[in-house]
Structure 1
């Protein structure tokens, strides 16, 4: 596939943030999350690969979704495939260019693997982060409302400029997917969509949005949102920065990227299964050293990590682990079983064990402003989520 030059505004246009991204039709919360997770997975390879893939088990984990409900996942993918995304690019002379494409050109699920493709045109657009904001998956998980996530996506791009600018009420309805006839009357659109979405964004995300209204003859015709950092939720940004800094300084990250694994993909693997990520790097290094890899080492590493290949240390004196291929059908079941075992172990922890783990977590730099020693938990939902993620990794590592 030839290298594609990203299509988009010039740097001077980007500075003014005049590009607007529209997703037509109403997407559910799950469908919006799917769009973002698939883009995160494909981002490093948008301009070099046509088809991208992700194990269904990992996809569902990132979505916070029941991996057994494949029919619901298929329906969501079909809706994403039938939903167009359009770009309106405003130039200095006031002339607007309009282009559109389906969000996904192809999707398929086979042997526990979800495969998908973007059109070449859209891949070029999505590869330009100034045009399309890559959503933080950790933040995305906190949302329970589709309108809130849609508004968050549309406001996050304007954090640097502080405002979305004035946009008509009709366009906002289209951007948020609030097409129901009941929202023709502004008071219902305001009460059921805008106010509820703003409240959720300000409670669970890393930004604060404040709506302002422009009226004509006492009728609201335009809305803009002021956008700023949320100091109360800054742990998302700071925590992500600290976590990613630690990941990027880790041995696993260094070795994976030297093999040719993309930065974002390496970070994602280490976040999911840090020990497995390192074992994969060591194993592939050994294969490459012995000239046993036909294609790229990075591509081989991805096959080993994502296809459920079991990596065995092969004895205390082995310098390179051996690999035993798992059947594709067993991949998802194995991942689910490990997750269930980890959950059961966490539920069975005594208060003393909970306190011990919490102390270890905070000693390693985890935020514990709302830690409650009497229960061994964290009162704040964001701190509790971050700690639970750490604890699951810890427990899973101890069980191996």
Structure 2
């Protein structure tokens, strides 16, 4: 299968703009399978109703050439055959205002071959796209996050629709970005949990480099200014099949149980000193000083990161916030209260989803549970060297591995509206309160 991937390393997928701006929640594997099938269908250009491709080729094109677990393919095909996709949601493709359908009309696997039928509504768009992004086919195999792949496709699409310049800058609203990434959260969480990891992965493993900065309206970030640069052509083809992560920062850092200690250690602080700082100072003080020091370091004002970080935490270098005038505080109280309420709701929703996915998993048969574990372990080998190292050490007893396992299971096991959408969850809470009130009235 490695040879199959090598044969197609220079191929490009012409992914239609309408299918990049989709309004569903595809998992990483599902999006990769989605892309591989689009590429294969374009390469056939035949009048046949159904196309046939090798399962080995499909596995190599999604980065699982060393895996024999085809269950992940079956699960992805089932989702792509049954779940509706709302396409052209950003209305960039003017050939159609809006559309909804499943991606595949049908699929079957037999004797190492996959036979698939595209949904008739998408055939013309896939095989003869008018607006499309030129995506290096095997770049997608390097992404370990569904957010990174979705963000990468969005960036490439913007560049291609602007004439494919070497460098390109544009502004995108946070609402559009939340839709593209399917992440419903405040900017602080979007930035730390999604954007920063995405940018790091894209800059490391793809054919483009991206940087961003917030665009504010008042004190709130409402949009991002994104700057994209094409890497040299030869760099776009380096190590797309097998990537050596042995030299990446943090790869050989020993994993610690306390995430705060881990944050300090990966920034050069010794383990004993990190533990002492965590035991002495509160979490907010440490995190805010880390953020402050990193800004100073990136601005070139700090030479030795670890030493300055220790001093910053001990002496508390956080910028001091002056007391705001009473009039200003009164004007912002309502907005701040609303933001805190939304943060609290988001935290409660995430806990609810965590509880629900664990309940759903516990209700599965032992065979189904083992199948999910096996599929996760297969993916782990190709996605995260740190998680894989932790799994080899502690297995599923590792808190980090356990958290990642159930995080990925959300995409498979959570089905109800209130489990998938924050606003639906809010509505369910309101309904529950009203039901209790009605019961009390009786």
- TM-score normalised over the length of structure 2: 0.44
Q: In proportion to residue count, which structure has more helix?
A: 2
TM-score of the aligned structures, taking structure 1 as reference length: 0.48
